[in-house]
């Protein structure tokens, strides 16, 4: 078996459901940066490490390479609009959405209200990998929400339905 073309590769990846995240940071000048990512995974429990992949062509790429901290906000199923907004280039990504920002007493990257969960990470490593960079972060703190997660599958957003809900239908 061989890889026929890039479209075949994309089609294969579309068969894998994943969560959707907004990754955010604040640079040394106080500007906020962020991007939508579905390439997110745990790496290690001890120490608690996660990874997320960032396109090398992303406007925010230089900011994340310099960042000492970043947040990974795992989106809830009612945050589809946030995912789509952060996937665009050249727009004010943070203005229209409810983020909690760090202060001089509590400096942290933007944390998205209503997320299924938010992970505050210290940047550990950045590894070039093809047309992306793999960012590895050590999780410093976790905020858990109570909303179900947003899922991306076959080029569209999906909602999870529990077995119990399905049986009651």
* Domains of the chain (ranges, CATH numbers): 17-168 (2.30.110.10)
Q: How far apart are CA 3 and CA 20, in angstroms?
A: 27
| Chain mean pLDDT for the chain | 90
Question: Is-contact 112 99, C-beta < 8 A?
Answer: yes
pLDDT of res. 2:
63
Q: How far apart are CA 77 and CA 152, in angstroms?
A: 10
Question: Is-contact 133 53, C-beta < 8 A?
Answer: yes
**pLDDT (mean) for 99-117:** 88
pLDDT of res. 7:
83
Name the maximum alpha-carbon separation found in the chain: 57
Three-class secondary structure assignment of 89-157: CCCCCCCCCCEECCCCCCCCCCEECCCCEEEEEEEEEEEEECCEEEEEEEEEEEEECCCCECEEECCEE
- Which are the contacts of 90, defined by CB distance < 8 A and separation ≥ 6? 59
What tokens were used for 79?
């945050």
Pairing of strands 132-144, 151-153: unpaired
**What pTM, to 2 d.p., does this model score?**
0.89
Tell me the per-residue pLDDT of 137-147, one tens digit each, with 9 for 90 and over: 999 999 999 99
pLDDT band at 50 (very low <50, low <70, confident <90, very high): very high
């Amino acid at each position: 078996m061989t890889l026929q073309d890039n479209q075949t590769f994309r089609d294969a990846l579309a068969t894998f459901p994943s969560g959707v995240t907004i990754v955010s940071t604040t640079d040394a000048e106080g500007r906020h940066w962020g991007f939508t990512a579905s390439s997110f995974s745990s790496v290690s429990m001890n120490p608690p490490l996660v990874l997320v992949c960032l396109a090398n062509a992303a406007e925010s790429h230089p900011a994340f390479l310099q960042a000492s901290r970043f947040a990974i906000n795992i989106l809830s199923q009612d945050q589809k609009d946030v995912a789509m907004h952060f996937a665009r280039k050249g727009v004010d990504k943070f203005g229209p959405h409810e983020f909690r920002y760090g202060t001089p007493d509590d400096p942290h990257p933007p944390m998205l209200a209503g997320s299924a969960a938010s992970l505050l990470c210290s940047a550990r490593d950045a590894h070039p990998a093809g047309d992306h960079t793999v960012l590895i972060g050590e999780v410093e703190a976790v905020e858990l929400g109570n909303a179900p997660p947003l899922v991306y599958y076959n080029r569209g957003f999906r909602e999870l339905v529990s077995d119990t809900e399905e049986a009651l239908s």
